[in-house]
Chain A
Amino acid sequence: MALTVPTLAEMNARGESPEVLFWVGCAGSFDDRAKRITKAIARILNAAEVPFAVLGAEESCTGDPAKRAGNEFLFQMQAAQNIAVLNGYGVKRIVTGCPHCFNTLKNEYPELGGDYEVMHHTQFIQQLIADGRLKVADGQPFKGKRITFHDPCYLGRGNGEYEAPRAALAALDADLVEMRRCKKNGLCCGAGGAQMFKDAEKGNREVNHERTDDVLATGAKVVATGCPFCNTMMTDGVKNAEREGDIEVKDIAELIAEAADLL
């Protein structure tokens, strides 16, 4: 079903303002796999009748990977530029499709002049379900299916949010199982801290292969993620274990959208 997503500039020109700004993030904008997650989020927002907009070409990297790789100059340049845009539009509420953008916008921008109410998409989706704005019960394609959730570091440990993604998944009526290392003790996928953009240092294993072992031990058929980088890493890990035939890696937004028959 075709869906038109307005930019904030277009919405403003019509004299309207959105309930939330959907901050897509770089992976969600450019990476083909992550774009499917982005579209799922857009479809959910649309189905829940949330007036939303994106920045489109006016969005720019939050600076997270630059900051964590040690380039504070580049980070603050990006921040200043983004804050100028966001404040220019008078943005109040932001929903991000990526926990790294979420953490940076929520925690690191206020001191630089960008103060917004920032939510991760799993938090917002959970809220939509809880408020009855989004119905997912119909069809129940995941009923009884074994699903495990991989905590993104910057949502979980970074910001203490462990429950919202799980509460959203609960709506699927699936067999939700935890990995040996979960929540506070969750193992990183290996992509954070700018590792996504470089080869791993010399070692005896890849982090995502180690994490995939945790997944395999649960017997889950679906790995639920909440981060485009985790999604890439877990997809590669499952492939490396030659289990891509029977284990799917999907973002919570995709699972909810599918259950709500939006895809």
Chain B
Amino acid sequence: MAHLIGQLTFLVLLGTAGFFFARRIGQIRKNIQLGRDVDRSDRKSERWATMARVAMGQSKMVVRPVAGIMHLVIYAGFILINIEVLEILIDGIFGTHRVFAPYLGGFYDVLIGLFEWLALGVLVACVVFLVRRNVLPIARFRSPEMKGWPKNDANIILVVEVLLMFAFLSMNAADGIAQARGLDHYIAAGSFPVSQWLQPLYAGLSDAGVVAVERGAWWFHIVGILGFLVYVPYSKHFHIFLAFPNTWYSDLTPAGQLDNMAAVKKEVDLMMSGDPFAAPAEPASDVPAEPAPFGAKDVKDLTWKQLMEAYSCTECGRCTSVCPANATGKLLSPRKVMMDTRDRVEEVGRAINAAGGDWGQGDGKSLLGDYISEEELWACTSCQACVEACPINISPMGIILDMRRSLIMEDSKAPEPITAMFNNVENNGAPWAFPAADRGKWTDELANES
């Protein structure tokens, strides 16, 4: 009977967590689809290779070895301990105990031993990460955009992971004691190379006490994981899922290449055709409702990939730490650009839901202006250091340059010297006010050198 109640409780919890997780994923998907279309379906084999190398292989994480290797431990722990979670799920649903053990025999002991070592590794890495974030003077964890929720979010995740790993090890420790005492239901299975050190903590307990610790830790662990599942898509930690599609859909062109805007190309082609009265091929029947704006003023003007990047960002701040503008005290922080984009698309998504799906004229706010200032945008040197540094191929620079396009082509807003540069290029074919005829002057000088 007690077993049945346990199983039912477990199923209800599992279903509830699954429901909230799926609902949240659906919302994120909807929000990402607010973005413009961009085709990232080409060069498939290269995309699989990029995902394998960058997301699975963590090739860009280990560029910084200390954080990179510890992250690798947590990543490996997460993936492999999930095999154990699968067993826990089956045990929970069917009321079994260590259901895999009879099938795997000696290999089961090896696996459990490996999981224990990984759990210890994850635990240690998370503690070190907590110290790095909260004690050590590491600049990228202390930027203005990390105050408040982002800092708490990071700490919550690390603390929860520490607690989960401790619960996992406590469960095994108590299980080991129960097995040694030959308690009913506790088959002899698994090896406990790490949790044996925790056994003294629980060895003085009665049989009922040991079972209570084992069951308590089991429930804490699995409920914690289900809670985590619901929490993660609201958190920066969502990168554990999105890192994979985000790298698959990477921009595969050279980092220096900036896209040519197709809408502009159409107009330029028309102008260059030489016929001032030439009109584009008659669109009579399929007239677009309104022309798409140039550049990005709000999240809907960004591509769905850029919005996916905003949800994939885990706020590690490697971009900001290598940004020359940020390093010299300018307002620009590439990480903040990504965080602002996510905050804004969340806001827009909520507003659309509140308006019953039809948002009409919007809320009078926009990403450009209300979240990201012109001063931030004009500090970028387009050096691509942020793009290079991102462990999962996010491009904050792409968003920055798209917003400059909106500033210039929609609002005609530029710092005065930039306007002067435009005028020079337009009139003299050079960013400075030199006549084109003087372009060859250096050849004259060379011809006259002795």
Contact = CB atoms under 8 A, between A and B. Distances in A.
Does A associate with B in a complex? yes
Interface of A: 1-5, 7, 24, 26, 28-31, 35, 38-39, 42, 54, 56-57, 59-61, 63, 65-74, 76-78, 80, 84, 103, 107-108, 111-112, 153-154, 157-160, 184-188, 190-207, 209-211
Contact of B254 (A56, A80, A107, A196): A107
B257 A107 contact: yes
A70 B406 contact: yes
29 contacts: A3-B446, A4-B443, A29-B438, A54-B440, A56-B443, A57-B436, A60-B429, A66-B422, A67-B258, A68-B404, A70-B407, A71-B408, A71-B422, A73-B264, A76-B261, A77-B268, A80-B268, A80-B272, A153-B384, A157-B388, A158-B254, A158-B255, A158-B384, A198-B415, A199-B417, A203-B379, A206-B328, A210-B327, A210-B328
Given A57-B437, A112-B260, A193 B383 contact: yes
Given A72-B261, A157-B255, A201-B331, A207 B267 contact: no
Given A60-B436, A61-B425, A191 B381 contact: yes
B45 interface: no
Contact of B383 (A71, A153, A200): A153
A157 B417 CA distance: 27
B383 A188 contact: yes
Contacts of A158: 254-257, 384
Interface residues of B, number: 73
Given A38-B442, A157-B387, A192 B417 contact: no
Contacts of A193: 380-383, 401
Contact of B258 (A7, A108, A201): A108
Contacts of A84: 272
Contacts of B401: 68, 70, 193
Contacts of A103: 254, 256-257
B430 A190 contact: no
Contacts of B324: 187-188, 190, 207, 210-211
Contacts of A73: 264, 267-268, 409
Nearest to A186: B385
Contact of B426 (A54, A74, A154, A188): A74
Contacts of B330: 200-203
A29 B434 CA distance: 10
A229 to B, nearest CB: 10
A197 to B, nearest CB: 4
Nearest to A63: B425
Interface of B: 253-258, 260-261, 264-265, 267-269, 271-272, 294-295, 322, 324-325, 327-332, 375, 378-385, 387-388, 401, 403-409, 414-415, 417-418, 420-422, 425-426, 429-432, 434, 436-443, 445-450
A61 to B, nearest CB: 5
A154 B406 CA distance: 24
A184 B379 contact: no
B256 A188 contact: no
Contacts, number: 237
B254 A159 contact: yes
A70 B446 contact: no
Q: Which of A158, A191, A196 has the largest number of chain B CB atoms within 10 A?
A: A158
Contact of A195 (B257, B381, B403): B381
Contacts of A3: 446-447, 449
Nearest to A84: B272
State the 6 A-B residue pairs at the shortest beta-carbon distance, nearest first: A158-B256, A193-B382, A204-B329, A70-B404, A60-B429, A188-B383
Contacts of B408: 69-71
A122 B273 CA distance: 37
Contacts of B442: 24, 28-29, 35, 38-39
A225 to B, nearest CB: 15
A49 to B, nearest CB: 17
A154 B327 CA distance: 20
A184 B442 CA distance: 34
Given A157-B385, A158-B255, A76 B450 contact: no
A242 B350 CA distance: 56
A197 B383 contact: no
Given A2-B446, A68-B258, A201-B379, 15 more contacts: A29-B430, A29-B439, A38-B442, A42-B443, A54-B443, A61-B430, A69-B418, A76-B268, A103-B257, A188-B385, A192-B382, A201-B375, A203-B325, A206-B328, A209-B328
B425 A65 contact: yes
A66 B408 CA distance: 10
Contacts of B271: 77
A201 B380 CA distance: 9
A38 B436 CA distance: 17
Contact of B432 (A30, A54, A57): A30
A201 B268 contact: no
A1 B425 contact: no
Q: Which of B380, B420, B429 has the largest number of chain A CB atoms within 10 A?
A: B429
B134 to A, nearest CB: 26
A24 B439 contact: yes
B418 A198 contact: yes
A2 B260 contact: no
B436 A65 contact: no
A194 B375 CA distance: 14
Nearest to A73: B264
Contact of B381 (A1, A74, A78, A153): A153
A53 B407 CA distance: 39
Contacts of A35: 442, 445
Q: Which of B260, B385, B437 has the largest number of chain A CB atoms within 10 A?
A: B260
B256 A74 contact: no
Contacts of A201: 325, 330-332, 375, 378-379
Given A29-B442, A201-B375, A72 B256 contact: no
Q: Which of A28, A84, A188, A201 has the largest number of chain B CB atoms within 10 A?
A: A201
